[in-house]
Structure 1
Amino acid sequence: MKVVVTGGHGFLGWHLRVRLRAFTDHTVVAIGRAEWDRLDAELKDADALIHLAGVNRGTDHEVEHGNVRLAQMAGRAVRDSGQLSCVVFANSVHAEADTPYGRGKAQAGILLADSATTCGARFVDVVLPNLFGEHGRPNYNSFVATFAHAVVDEQNPTVQDRQVELLHVQQAAAALIDVLGPEHPEMVRPRGEYTSVGEVLEALRDMHHLYRGGEFPALTTQLEVDLFNTLRAAMFPRAYPMRPASHHDERGRLVECVRAHGGTGQTFVSTTRPGVTRGEHFHLEKVERFLVVRGRALISLRRLFHDEVISFAVSADAPAIVDMPTMWVHNIVNTGDDELVTLFWTHTLHDPLAPDTFAEQVRPELGGPG
């Protein structure tokens, strides 16, 4: 299936492409502002359009009419497409509100539904609550992103406390992908987790305090895992590598590897021959720790759909911890002359039916690490 995604380089668009890469073999074309003139041509042989492009910042006129204008342009391309079978719209719960953003989203949905009907395509309205997750832009995508960056920078953001429904952006992406199948209603409303703005800030502060002190917070609920991964994304790469507590006496050395507050976890120890690479994959939500306990290694990471590779040279001579951020491809290479011994820890028990591990190379242009 060929899927065209407008707004494909934005917050939700990036997460949607990550999930499509992980779970499907669809051909995915991301259309952003720079590629908008390609939309008509890309839809000519596409199976589905997922319309994410929108405007949520600006004057009232820019927000309301910007969303309508994008839907009008996408609608024209849909009507001219010829063979498109499905149009999916990332709508918002705010479409029910009499605000510039709400009115713009509501009108955009009507325009896209009319265009889909005209060309004989199914239309699915996916109504999303407040989204949050890794790599959201502070002061733009989500108050959670704003708080995460503020906590990392040791700032005290102003809180206007209220109840809020939060949905992790990967779950929003899952809903958008699920409706590509034929057996779905015309409207889908994924449900998030109800919490408060103040509780989110308090949770992020507590997590950051423990984590910077060398300890994992309790990760006993999905919301806790998602908030922690959002926080870790805001910390990466500045906070790494971390230096674990190390104790020496005449017998040798003891290094603290993992201190975790509740939940489950699993520890692995691997040996790696000189020059050999492990990894070359990414995770969607797994918290994973690398600690070299013998030998030397190079740990390299690349955020999906980005080119920059970030590397950490680590050695058992000066124990260092690197925790893998979610949705970053990573590997570890034995750069020494002797056997490498590495401790790996994950916050969940390994499930062979759902391992949350997806193959991808850190340096695909080289066929792997150089």
Structure 2
Amino acid sequence: MEKQINVVITGTNGFIGKNLAAEFEQLENINLEKVVRSTSRGSLEKFLNKADIVFHLAGVNRPQDESEFMEGNRDFTNEIIEIIKAQSSKPAIVLSSSIQATSENAYGRSKKAGEQLIQKFSEESDSPVFIYRLPNVFGKWCKPNYNSVVATFCHNISHNLEIKVNDENHNLNLVYIDDIISEFKSLVTDCREIKTGYKEINPVYEISLGDLVDKLESFKLSRENKMVPNLSTELSKKLYSTYLSYLPIDNFSYDLKMNVDNRGSFTEFLKTKDSGQVSINISKPGIVKGNHWHHTKNEKFLVVSGEGIIRFRKYGTKKVIEYHVTGEKLEVVDIPTGYTHNIENLGNSDMVTVMWANELFDPNNPDTYFEEV
């Protein structure tokens, strides 16, 4: 049986805490205790007394009065340390600090004070501590219009609200929430073997405010023009996942233009800049579609529902080649250039075919020549 590990997270209602708790709740070997504002002193003592590792993520960053910075970021940290000092067991402590700890402002000074308390405790108790000065963190569940520009922009753009950019050339250093969670998870089992002190989250991404806005706007537009967003970088992938998490709950879906006639329908689904497009073709029973060939354009057909036949005849020859297709046995049929081809629905219900073409349809150069198979 896997050893059970007792984990305490402070600030579990916050952005990082909520994500970390959700991850630990999936692990059978983790006994998790959550600390929030309403947690009593008695419960806090009980949790810390049996903890193997404490993730101290609670803090204050938008108080009504500057004095609350020290109360939330220094004094609460000191309270945790004093409780641990009075008990026999000494858990490892992971402190979520900020790059602002080097700044001479009220928030930065309070974060620095919390760090110093943790460092002193480690020196006196020989308890492992890990301090992370986090830059801008982005990802799902971050509160918009609070202290994250990525969350604010994702929310406002997806909700058709105004955004303000004072300096498009200003660069941000970003870390993704899942990378933080991965790093924190690694500490749970190895914290006694890892060198204590200041630690870093990698990778750190750099992006200008202008480029950030452009990316998020392209994600929004992709639902209209059907273009798959450019996800060629890790940052783009993570920003896209983040953007989708801020969609309005009544706007997860979006319509596609269906080209409908008595034969069925043809609907463009996804388009790409350099990898063609995907469409959905629906054919009524007995209907034959196609009877054309291409010079350069090529396609892939995948029947996902119904049954039918795809016929080919090489241009200038008489021999007809047939492929029987059905949604009961998924198989992709390549449509080579130079072969006139058609697809017929042989069933009693609609036949649904997913079609990929290697290039976007260009009405000025369709590369499509009609000829019966």
For Structure 1 versus Structure 2, the TM-score category normalised by the shorter chain is: 0.5 to 0.7
Check conservation: 1:5, 1:51, Cα contact below 8 A.
yes
Distance 1:23 1:202, change over 3 A: farther
Matched, 1:210 2:222: yes
Distance 1:144 1:105, change over 3 A: same
Distance 2:277 2:86 in 1: 52
Distance 1:264 1:254, change over 3 A: closer
Which residue of structure 2 lines up, in the alignment, with residue 258 of structure 1?
Answer: 270
1:122 to 115, 124, 128: 128
Which residue of structure 1 lines up, in the alignment, with residue 38 of structure 2?
Answer: 34
Give the CA RMSD over aligned residues: 2.9
Distance 1:263 1:89, change over 3 A: farther
Deviation of 1:261 (Å):
4.7
Which residue of structure 2 lines up, in the alignment, with residue 183 of structure 1?
Answer: 193
The letter for the 1-side match of 2:57 is L
Which residue of structure 1 lines up, in the alignment, with residue 179 of structure 2?
Answer: 171
* CA offsets 1:250-294 (integer angstroms, 9 cap, x no match): 221233343345689999xxxxxxxxxxxxxxxxxxxxxxxxx87
Secondary structure of 2:94's counterpart equals strand
Distance 1:107 1:113, change over 3 A: same
The letter for the 2-side match of 1:56 is N
The letter for the 1-side match of 2:271 is R
Distance 1:264 1:140, change over 3 A: farther
Distance 1:45 1:126 in 2: 24
Asked which structure has the greater RCO (Cα within 8 Å, sep 6+), the reply is 1
Distance 2:198 2:275 in 1: 36
Secondary structure of 1:27's counterpart equals strand
Distance 1:157 1:131 in 2: 19
Secondary structure of 2:271's counterpart equals coil
With the length of structure 1 as denominator, give the TM-score of the two structures.
0.67
Check conservation: 1:78, 1:119, Cα contact below 8 A.
no
Which residue of structure 2 lines up, in the alignment, with residue 320 of structure 1?
Answer: none
Alignment of structure 1 residues 119-268 onto 2, 5 Å: 119-161=125-167, 162-180=170-188, 181=190, 182-185=192-195, 186-191=197-202, 192-261=204-273
Distance 1:55 1:163, change over 3 A: same
- Gapped runs of 5+ residues in structure 2? 280-303, 307-348, 355-373
Distance 2:172 2:87 in 1: 39
Distance 1:234 1:342 in 2: 32
Distance 1:93 1:252, change over 3 A: same
Distance 2:278 2:77 in 1: 47
- Gapped runs of 5+ residues in structure 1? 268-292, 296-337, 344-370
Which residue of structure 1 lines up, in the alignment, with residue 115 of structure 2?
Answer: 109
Matched, 1:10 2:14: yes
* CA offsets 1:222-246 (integer angstroms, 9 cap, x no match): 1111111111111042212322332
* CA offsets 1:78-120 (integer angstroms, 9 cap, x no match): 2234223311111111111111111111110111233344444
Distance 1:84 1:258, change over 3 A: farther
Check conservation: 1:55, 1:66, Cα contact below 8 A.
yes
Q: State the number of aligned residues.
A: 274
Distance 2:70 2:272 in 1: 47
The letter for the 2-side match of 1:188 is K
Distance 1:342 1:108 in 2: 61
Secondary structure of 1:77's counterpart equals helix
Distance 1:264 1:124 in 2: 48
Deviation of 1:164 (Å):
1.3
The letter for the 1-side match of 2:267 is V
2:49 to 39, 44, 52: 44
Matched, 1:99 2:112: no
The letter for the 2-side match of 1:184 is I
Bigger Rg, structure 1 or 2: 2
The letter for the 1-side match of 2:153 is F
